[in-house]
Amino acid sequence: MFVFSFFRIIKFAFQDLVRNFSLSLMTVMILVLMLLSVNTLIAIRALTNEATSWVKEQIDVSIYFSHDASEDQINEIVDYINSFPEVVSAEFHTADQELEKFKQDHKNSPTILSSLDELGENPLGPTLVVKTRDPGDYEKIISSLSVPEYEKIIDAKTFGDTEVVIDRVQSITTQVERLSFTLSILFAVIAFIIIFNTIRVAIYTQRQEIGIKKLVGATNWFVRGPYLMEALIFTCISIAITAGVVYFSSLFLDPYVSIVFQKEAFLTNYFTSNIMWLLSVQFGAVLILNILSGSLAMRKYLRT
C-alpha cells in the first residue's frame, strides 16, 4: 500500500511540475544561481587559502651573525632557535656560502661584483635562515633574540616585508567573500519566496483536486506528498545543474589558475576531492530551504 501511494505521489508531483512549467523553471533557475554563488564562495576560499599559504612559504627571517661570533656561540643560537616549536626549518649558511649566493644573485651587476672584489675580504658573515609555521611567529623569534647577551654576535635580524602582501590578499578576499556571501543570502531569500509561490500556485490551480482528495478520504500525507516530492525534485535538478556548471567552469578556469599557482587542475581537483561533503551539505541545505518554504505555503493555503 505504501509503495502504491509513493509511486502515485511521484506521478502527481511530476504532473504538477509540467503543468506549472514556467514557475518550476524559475524556481530551479534561482536555486541554481544561489548554488553557483555559494560555489563561487567555496572556490574563492580555496584559492585564497592556496594563495596565502604560498605567500607564507616565501617568508623567512634571516639572522646575520657578526664576524666575531665564535662557532660555539653560533651553535648555541642555532640550537636555541630550533627549540621553538613554531620553527619549521632553520638553515645555516656559512660566510663563504653567503658570498657565493650573493655573487650568484648579482651576477648581472658588474659594479656590485667589482666593488666586492675591491673589498678584498668577505664582508658577509654566517647566516641562519629561519622559517616558521605562521608569519606571526617571526616577531617572537626576533624579540627572543633581542637580548643584550646576543647583541654582540648578531649583526642584524630581518624579514621580508611579505606581511603587507598577505594583508592585501586577505583584504581582497574578504571583500569578494563578503560579496558572494551577500549574493548567496539574497538568492536564498529569493528562492524561498519563489518556492513559496510555486507551491502556492500549485495548490491554487489544484484546489478542486485537493478538495476531492480530501472528500474521498485521502490521507494528509497523500495530499501533501506531491508538493514535498516537488521540493525534492527541485533540489535534485538544481544540484545536478550546478554540479555540471561548476565542473565545466573549473575545467575552464584551471589553466588560468595554474599560471598563478603552478598547480595543474587546481579547482577541478579541489571540487572532485571534496565532492562528497560539498554535495551532501548543499543538497541538505537546498532541501531544507525547499521543504521549509513549501511547508509554509502548505500551512497557509492547504488546510487539512
Partner 1 sequence: MIKLTNVSKIYDKKGSALNGVDLQIDAGEFVCIVGQSGSGKTTLVKLLIAEEKANSGKIEIGDWDITRIPRRDVPLLRRQIGVIFQDFKLLPKKTVYENVAFALQVAGETFGRIREVVPKVIDIVGLGDKMDRYPTQLSGGEQQRVVIARSLVHRPKILVADEPTGNLDSINTQEIIDILGKINEFGTTLVLVTHNKEVVNQLRKRVITIHNGQITSDQKEGKYKL
Of the two residues 4 and 277, which places its CB atom closer to partner 1 in the complex?
4
Measured CA to CA in angstroms, residue 75 lies from 65, 70, 175, 206 at distances of 11, 9, 46, 85
Closest distance to partner 1 from the beta carbon of 209 (Å):
6
Of the two residues 99 and 218, which places its CB atom closer to partner 1 in the complex?
218
Per-residue binder mask for partner 1 (CB under 8 A), 265-304, x = binder: ---------------------------------------x
Of the two residues 147 and 215, which places its CB atom closer to partner 1 in the complex?
215
Contact by Cβ (8 Å): 35, 286: yes
Residue range at the interface with partner 1 (CB under 8 A); choices 1-9, 62-70, 164-172, 238-246: 1-9
Of the two residues 114 and 208, which places its CB atom closer to partner 1 in the complex?
208
- What type of residue sits at position 92? F
Which run of H or of E encompasses 61? strand 61-65
Q: Check binding of 66 to partner 1 (CB under 8 A).
A: no
Q: Check binding of 18 to partner 1 (CB under 8 A).
A: no
Q: How many residues bind partner 1 (CB under 8 A)?
A: 20
Burial of 125 (0-12, 13-18, 19+ CB in 10 A): buried
Read off the DSSP letter of residue 298. Answer: H
The set of cell numbers assigned to 87 is 620553527
Bridge partners for 151 per DSSP: none
Contact by Cβ (8 Å): 80, 159: no
- 202 to 241, contacts with partner 1 by CB under 8 A? 208-209, 211-220, 222-223
Closest distance to partner 1 from the beta carbon of 268 (Å):
47
Dihedral (CA of 106, 107, 108, 110) sign: positive
Of the two residues 85 and 217, which places its CB atom closer to partner 1 in the complex?
217
In 142-264, the DSSP E strands lie at 154-159
Closest distance to partner 1 from the beta carbon of 20 (Å):
15
Per-residue binder mask for partner 1 (CB under 8 A), 152-191, x = binder: ----------------------------------------
Q: How far is 66 from 141, CA to CA, in rounded Å? A: 18
Residue range at the interface with partner 1 (CB under 8 A); choices 2-10, 62-70, 250-258, 270-278: 2-10
The set of cell numbers assigned to 106 is 648579482
Q: How far is 287 from 291, CA to CA, in rounded Å? A: 6
Which residues contribute to the site for partner 1 (CB under 8 A)?
1-2, 4-5, 8, 208-209, 211-220, 222-223, 304
